[in-house]
A and B are shown apart, each in its own frame.
Chain A
Amino acid sequence: MSSNSIKVLAGNSHPELTNKIIEKLGIDKTNVFVQNYTNRETCVAIADNIRDEDVYIIQTGIDHEDLNINDYLMELMIMVHCCKTASVRKVTCVIPNFFYARQDRKDKSRSPITAKLVANLLTTAGCDHVITMDLHASQIQGFFSIPVDNLYAEPSTLKYIKDNYDVNQKDLILVSPDAGGAKRVASLADKLDLQFALLHKERAVANEVSRMVLVGDVKGKNCILIDDMADTCGTLCKAAEILKENGAKQTIAMVTHAILSNNALERVKNSELKKLVFTNTNPISEQDKQNYKECIDVIDISGTLAEAIRRLHNGESISYLFTHVPL
């Protein structure tokens, strides 16, 4: 008789997060062997019995030196397919940082909507359900024909701000580094009853120095820059500079997905940004953690993911997690 229990399979992109989730769920790890042939083909073998189980595969869209984002996507799809052929009851992909999330629309003529392609690929591979976090655009949910649960890091972010800053002091101000993020910042500002401002980079005029416009007053305030992802951190560092020029006392930045390519942390260290706070949807190497421990802070969101998995498995509502951080 099958027990139909939770089986968590770890992709190679973020084993640390998987371990934390497994620990929180109090279950054993399911052994999966992922091997890359010399010709770089990926091969997956699942060592434990998963027939008629509820399988969760954890893989995040990140680029490493040896394995890149496409390798991880391929690995995920092969794992899904592998589970499907191994007669599991249900396969759920847990993708904290969704692959190709920024290519979500035809912003230029003839540009592809790769996020849609990834959605189709995952569905075709046999995925039954997707859990993700802070999608770049929530419309990506609509790219899938299967249910997608888009979790929010916002409750964790709120908790961090409340734990680390005195929100009643009123010397805090939230700042959006671009116009598109104004909504995200306004939502947080409402919940904390803080003021907010926004920066906008004017790009339309060709052959003219780009200028950044600050809308709002930051003089003498501690600024918190809020964004959904930090890639090269160029914009965030530039924004911190502008804020400083406008009289801000100090600036920190908070993002959900830290992609941190091209020596981003080095850039942060040498910039006006006092600190970069991000969640662990993406892995960060021990070395970086040591080298830059002064200027980074990591919020753990494995609790939210673990709770989502537990609730999904037991058929409970996930809505609670949209507003609360699980214990």
Chain B
Amino acid sequence: MRKCKVFVGNSHPELGQLVCENLGIEAAPCTLKKFANGETSVQIGVSVRDEDVYVIQSGSPEINDHIMEMLILISALKGGSAKKITAVIPQFPYAKQSKMKKHRGAITARMIANLIIMAGADHVVSMDLHASQMQGFFSKPVDNLYGGPTLAKWIKENITDYENNAVVVSKNPGGTKRVTALADLLKINFAMIHTDRRRKKDILSGNKDQLKSLKLRKQSILRKNRPIIQKDDENGAEENILLTNTIQTARLRKGHVVSEEDPFEDSEEEEDFNYPSENNGLNIASSGNSDNDNESDDDEYNENSEQPSLEKLITLVGNVNGKSAILLDDMIDRPGSFIGAAEHCIKNCGAKDVYVVATHGVFTGDCLEQLEESDSINKIIVTNTYPISEERLKKSKKLVVLDVSPIFAECIRRDHYGESISVLFDSLKHL
């Protein structure tokens, strides 16, 4: 590729290397280092005048340093009279802060977008943005690639008889759209899990009867081993209606599923915890229970700060009985909700095994280790958009990392030659 240079940032050199290999070129030489006072310094070792330049930098544990590094690199390239600068950001940092979380919250993802454009980027390439609306944050073109086809390919090749044997499950209502897209692609069923943080103690005890009846229903379901899908054959001519009418509710304590037989022994404790929160509900802002579409993200953020002994209700809408549950999300950050959902699928809903599938394996803290430890999780599948240390990879028995570098390489190649990259979006069809 003439007049084209690829610069690889320090956040994820392995991915950058793989992309360059796929393109059949060497990464352009540049020195990225830090001064003693912590300031980042960039030196570009080759002329970029009038060239088409690509900078590959992903999110990483040293997120802010690497954002700064990318900004300085872009600005250095701009200063070096590059014709066009494309920032390739496989995992977009701060993507979760794409809307006002709480009242008066900052939209940090937009700020990052502004910074990247201000530094001099002319084009941005990313993958599975947390919200596709983020493309609108940029005043320059953004290409949002999809990790879905790669994940779908793995599922097709590795889950035996996936067509009859697997269900894609969303671990929160917000991710249902992503889940249905994959379900449609694989032509399999889907289900959804909802974790309820608000139901108050009186409702909980009121649910005792409901739980009992649910239990009875569950037993009858297990007895009859009712098929999960009831194909409506009578009126199949016009429309094929599938009914998956199981709703499974259980209790979560400290992020783990509590068996239904377990008495409500801590109802006293419940009371203590819930009355203040009830008051909070009246005191507006603090409880943050107004925004009808930020809770699933808040969930991730608040997981640690929440009262650990607070009991929640977890509900599965749909049916996974006797099937492999594929828990899909865009990013694995914190383990709590995945473990809770997996335990619920296995212990209460009769799932055969659970696969945790995501595009970005961020694994903050000991997330990966906790997921490893959970008996309910069979395998963890992520792509290599985010760096995972060698050591962690070696230690892990469940983790599967899929390579998406060919997608980025192809995108760079096509972009450089001015070809359409829609094919990369539509590659879903060719599977």
Contacts and interface: CB of A to CB of B under 8 A. Distances in A.
A142 B285 CA distance: 21
A186 B240 contact: no
A180 interface: yes
A140 B136 contact: yes
A142 B293 CA distance: 15
B174 A212 contact: no
Contacts of B173: 182-183, 185-187
Contact of B245 (A115, A196, A205, A219): A219
Interface string B211-243: 000000000000000000000100100111111
Q: Which of A187, A217, A319 has the most CB of B within 10 A?
A: A187
Nearest to A185: B173
Interface string A92-134: 0000000000001111011001011001100000000000000
A197 B242 CA distance: 13
A215 B248 CA distance: 12
A137 B99 CA distance: 9
Contacts of B179: 179
B323 interface: no
B100 interface: yes
Nearest to B182: A204
B273 interface: no
Contact of A105 (B136, B176, B238): B136
B246 interface: yes
Main secondary structure of the interface of A (DSSP, over half): mixed
Contacts of A246: 241, 243, 245
A190 B185 CA distance: 31
Interface in B232-270: 232, 235, 238-247
B296 A322 contact: no
Contact of B317 (A106, A197, A324): A197
Q: Which of A138, A205, A246 has the most CB of B within 10 A?
A: A138
B48 to A, nearest CB: 28
A319 B103 contact: yes
B390 interface: no
B242 A211 contact: yes
B409 interface: no
Nearest to B294: A138
Interface residues of A, number: 64
Q: Which of B107, B292, B425 has the most CB of A within 10 A?
A: B292
Contact of A140 (B133, B192, B425): B133
B422 A322 contact: no
Contacts of B131: 137, 139
Interface in A169-214: 179-180, 182-188, 190-191, 193, 195-198, 200, 202-205, 209-214
B194 A209 contact: no
A154 interface: yes
Given A142-B110, A211-B241, A215-B244, A323 B290 contact: yes
B109 A142 contact: yes
B371 to A, nearest CB: 24
Interface string B134-153: 11110100101000000000
A155 B99 CA distance: 20
A152 interface: yes
Nearest to B104: A319
B403 to A, nearest CB: 24
B285 A116 contact: no
B163 interface: no
Interface string B159-181: 00000000000101110110111
B134 A209 contact: no
B292 A214 contact: no
Contacts of A209: 238-240
Q: Which of B179, B238, B244, B296 has the most CB of A within 10 A?
A: B244
B110 A213 contact: no
A141 interface: yes
A216 B247 contact: yes
A182 B421 CA distance: 31
Interface in A268-327: 317-320, 322-324
A104 B103 contact: no
B241 A212 contact: yes
Contact of B133 (A139, A190, A214, A318): A139
A170 to B, nearest CB: 8
B289 interface: yes
B284 A180 contact: no
Contacts of B197: 190
A242 B241 contact: yes
A211 B192 contact: no
Given A109-B425, A209-B238, A215-B318, A198 B136 contact: no
B180 A319 contact: no
A191 B199 CA distance: 8
B192 A182 contact: yes
A139 B244 contact: no
A10 B303 CA distance: 46
A245 interface: yes
Nearest to B242: A213
Given A180-B176, A193-B199, A143 B137 contact: yes
A198 B184 contact: no
B130 to A, nearest CB: 9
Contact of B132 (A106, A115, A141, A195): A106
Interface in B23-52: none
B1 interface: no
A226 to B, nearest CB: 10
Contact of A319 (B187, B192, B290): B290
Contact of B244 (A104, A141, A150, A213): A213
B180 A186 contact: no
B317 A190 contact: no
B347 interface: no
A106 B425 CA distance: 11
A257 to B, nearest CB: 15
B49 to A, nearest CB: 31
A324 B285 CA distance: 11
A211 B199 CA distance: 34
Interface of B: 98-100, 103, 107, 109-110, 131-137, 139, 142, 144, 170, 172-174, 176-177, 179-181, 184-185, 187, 189-192, 194, 196-199, 203, 232, 235, 238-247, 281, 284-285, 289-296, 317-318, 420-422, 425
Given A211-B241, A322-B290, 5 more contacts: A180-B176, A186-B173, A212-B241, A213-B242, A219-B245
Interface pairs A-B: 7 shortest CB-CB: A322-B290, A139-B133, A204-B184, A109-B422, A182-B173, A116-B136, A186-B173
16 contacts: A104-B136, A105-B136, A106-B132, A109-B425, A137-B131, A137-B133, A140-B133, A141-B99, A187-B173, A187-B292, A188-B292, A190-B196, A210-B239, A216-B317, A245-B241, A322-B284
